[in-house]
Chains A and B, each alone.
Chain A
Amino acid sequence: MRRAAGEPDLLYVDLHLVHEVTSPQAFEGLRLARRPVRRPELTLATMDHNVPTNDEPPEPISAKQIEAMARNAREFGIRCFPMGSPEQGIVHVISPQLGLTQPGMTIVCGDSHTSTHGALGALAWGIGTSEIEHVLATQTIAQTKPGTMAVIVDGALPADCAAKDVILAIIARIGTSGGVGKVIEYRGSTIRALAMEGRLTISNMSIEAGARAGIVGPDNITFAWLEGRPYAPKGQHWEKALDDWRSLATDPDARFDREVKIDARRLRPYVTWGTNPAQSVTIEDRVPEPDALPADARDSARRALAYQDLRPGTPVRDIAVDAVFIGSCSNARLDDLRAAADVLQGRHVKPGIRALAVPGSMRVKADAERMGLDRVFIDAGFEWRDAGCSMCLGMNPDILRPGERCASTSNRNFEGRQGPGGRTHLVSPAVAAATAIAGHFALPSDLR
C-alpha cells in the first residue's frame, strides 16, 4: 500500500481475525487513545482458546476473557461468533470454512498458526498484540519483504501417510528455524493432489519451521473449495475473482532463495519423540541416541528425552500412551475426523486411555454428525466434544496431568504445552486413532 526508502512496507490488511486471548490489551489501547477500529467489516472475532468443549461452564478467569471479547466486539462494532453460536470454532478453521479466506488476500491474526490460511493462496501470518492494535486502528501492517523458499514435494503418498506426515518430514529436514525470515511456497505433485484440508494442515505448521507464512498456489481445488461458501464472491463477482486468482500462480521458472525437495513416495508416518516439532522419527524407527545426532542437536535431545521420559533405542511402536487427542487448527476438519473414524469403525479404545475428538468448528461438528461420525467416535470410546482449541494448548479444562503421555494431532510438542508436565507426541489423525486402539503408537494396518 505504501513503500518508502528506509522504512518497512505498509501492507493493507484484507482480513483481521481476532480471538479472546491476545486481543484484550489491544482494545484497551484503543480505548486509552480514543481510537476507533478503522474497518470493523474486515474484522471477525470468535472465542476458541479458552472455551470449555464439554457442558461445563468456563473457569471464572477464562469467563472474564470470553466476556471481554464479547464486550469489545460490541463496543467496537465487530462481528463475533461467541461460544454457543453455530459458527463458533477455532479461528483458523472457521474463516476458510466460511469462504472468508480467499486467494491473494492479506490476513493477519494474533496467533502464530495464522499461516494456515496460506493453503488457499492468501498471504497470512501471526502477529503480536501491539500489531493487533495497529491493525485495528489503521487496517495496515508494517512488514519488511520476506525471503522466499520453495518446498517441492513430488510423488504419490504411501497409503498410510497423510498431509501431517508431509509437514513433519519437511520440518525434520529444514529444522525449527529453517524458514525464519522466509515465506515458504509448497509446490509439487503431492501438494497439488492434496485436498484443501490436507493443504491447511501443511500451511498450519509452517510456523513450526519458523517460516513467516506458508503458501500453496491457488488451483482448481482451491476454487472448488470456495465456490458457494457464504462469503465467497457470487455471480459476476465470482467470475472477476476467478480471473484474478488464476493470475496469482508463481511463474514456472521463478527463482527462490532456497529450494528443498522431498520425495513423497519414500515417506512413512511420523511420530515426534522430543519437545520441538523437528524432533521426530518415522513409526518404523527407534527413539534416537543423542550422541548419534549432530553436535548442535545433542543438548536439546538429551533434555527432551529426560522431559519425555524416553530411553534411546526404544522402538516407537513400544511407546504406550495415556491419552489421545484428535483436534486443533492443524487437524480438526471433516477430512481429518473421517480419516480417524475410518480406523475406529467397529473397534474400541484400549481401556484406561482417555480419548478426545474435538471438531475444529461447530459447523464441522454438525457436518460430521450428519455423516454419523459422532456415533463412530462415541461407540469406540472417544469423548465427542464441542469446538475449540481444547487439549492443544492447556488454556481450558482439557489438559494432560503431569507425566501423562499423549498422541496428539495438534502442532506443538513443547514442554508443558498440553498441561504442565504433560508429554506430547505429534501424529496424523489415522495414527492417533490406531494408537488409541492399540494403546501404543500404531498404524491402522497394524490393527488385527
Chain B
Amino acid sequence: MEAVRRIAGRALPLARADVDTDQIIPSHWLKRLERTGYAEGLFEAWRRDPAFVLNDDRYRGAVILLAGANFGCGSSREHAVWALLESGFRAVIAPSFADIFRNNALKNGLVPVELDETTTGRLVALVRADPATEIAVDIERRIVEAPGVRPSFEIDDFARTRLLEGLDDIALTLRYEVDVAAYERKRPEWLPRVIAP
C-alpha cells in the first residue's frame, strides 16, 4: 500500500444515503481476476442518467467523494474500493460507513472520513455552489480543511499509522509467528480440519 498523508482537491457531491456496493460496482464486474480494470464500472447503472453527478464535467478530477450515511453497505466486494481508487478518489467523507467497506478502504489507502450530517451537508453545499472548491483531508493532523469549515475527524492511531507509513498488514502480522504457533498448539483437538473428516 502507498503511504498517504494529505489529500487535496475537488470533491464530488454524491450525497445519497445507504449507497450499497452493488451500486458502486455491479456484480458482473466481479468476474475479473485482477485488482484493476474497474473504473468503467463505477456507479455503472446510475451513470446512464446524464444528470447523475459523476457525469457533471465541473467535478471532473475530483479526489474526494462526499457521500451520505451508511456508505458502502451490503456486499463485501473490495472491488468497490478498487473502482473508486482507479477513478481518482483518494478519500470518502460521509456521516457513517458500513464496517466491511471501511476495512476494505483502509487496506487500500482510500481514506474513510466520518463527519456528522451537518458538516458533511456544509461541504456538499460548498462544492455545489462552487465545484472548484478545494477540500483537503489531512491524515496526520486528523482534520478536513475547506473554506470556512475546518472539522477534525476521528481515526484510530493504528489505522492512521498504517496510512501514513503505507504498511503491509501481512508483513506486520508475520512478526508474531511465534505467538500464532503457540496458540495453535493449545487449540482444542475436536476442532474440525477440512482435509481429513
Contacts and interface: CB of A to CB of B under 8 A. Distances in A.
B54 to A, nearest CB: 15
B74 A414 contact: yes
Contact of B193 (A38, A42, A110, A144): A42
A142 B75 contact: no
A1 B18 CA distance: 34
Contact of B76 (A38, A50, A126): A126
Contacts of B69: 177
Interface string B182-197: 0110011111111111
Interface string B129-160: 00000000000000000000000000011100
Interface stretch (A255-263, A345-353, A373-381, A415-423): A415-423
A241 interface: yes
Contacts of B74: 112, 207-208, 412, 414
A65 B31 CA distance: 6
A99 B190 CA distance: 12
Indicate the member of A139, A207, A296 with the most B CB atoms within 10 Å.
Answer: A207
Given A1-B183, A138-B173, A394-B26, A102 B192 contact: yes
B103 interface: yes
Interface stretch (A4-12, A190-198, A319-327, A334-342): A4-12
Contacts of B196: 41
Given A102-B191, A181-B99, A414-B22, A33 B176 contact: no
A212 B99 contact: yes
B174 A22 contact: no
Contact of B70 (A24, A131, A210, A244): A210
Contact of B73 (A210, A230, A232, A395): A210
B34 interface: yes
Contact of A180 (B31, B99, B183): B99
Contacts of A144: 156
Contacts of B180: 1, 12, 38, 138-140
B23 to A, nearest CB: 6
Contact of B33 (A64, A112, A303): A64
A305 interface: no
Nearest to A126: B76
Given A394-B27, A417-B22, A12 B191 contact: no
Interface residues of A, number: 85
A10 B76 contact: no
A130 B45 contact: no
Contacts of B193: 41-42
A238 interface: yes
Contacts of A102: 191-192
Contacts of A210: 70, 73, 98-99
A79 B194 contact: yes
Contacts of B51: none
B100 interface: yes
A128 interface: yes
Interface in B96-117: 96-100, 103-104, 107-108
B49 to A, nearest CB: 11
Given A22-B77, A65-B31, A420 B26 contact: yes
Nearest to B45: A416
A415 B22 contact: yes
B176 A10 contact: yes
Interface in B40-73: 45, 69-70, 73
Nearest to B173: A138
Contact of B188 (A38, A238, A244): A244
B78 interface: yes
A7 B158 contact: yes
A319 to B, nearest CB: 22
B31 A395 contact: yes
Interface in A282-315: 296, 299-300, 303
B155 to A, nearest CB: 12
A254 B183 CA distance: 28
A420 B78 contact: no
Given A126-B76, A138-B170, A230-B197, A237 B189 contact: yes
A49 B16 CA distance: 28
B33 A12 contact: no
Contacts of A50: 31
Nearest to A30: B170
Interface of B: 16-18, 20, 22-23, 26-28, 30-31, 33-35, 45, 69-70, 73-79, 81, 96-100, 103-104, 107-108, 156-158, 169-170, 173-174, 176, 179-180, 183-184, 187-197
Given A100-B192, A100-B194, 10 more contacts: A2-B176, A25-B33, A41-B193, A41-B194, A78-B194, A131-B103, A210-B73, A237-B189, A395-B27, A395-B31
Interface of A: 1-2, 6-8, 10, 12, 14-15, 21-22, 24-25, 28, 33, 35, 38-44, 49-50, 61-62, 64-65, 68, 78-79, 98-100, 102, 105, 110-112, 126-131, 133-134, 137-140, 142, 144, 176-177, 180-181, 207-208, 210, 212, 230-233, 237-238, 240-241, 244, 276, 296, 299-300, 303, 393-395, 412, 414-417, 420
16 contacts: A10-B173, A68-B33, A112-B76, A130-B78, A131-B107, A134-B169, A177-B96, A177-B98, A210-B73, A240-B190, A300-B17, A303-B16, A394-B28, A414-B20, A416-B22, A416-B45
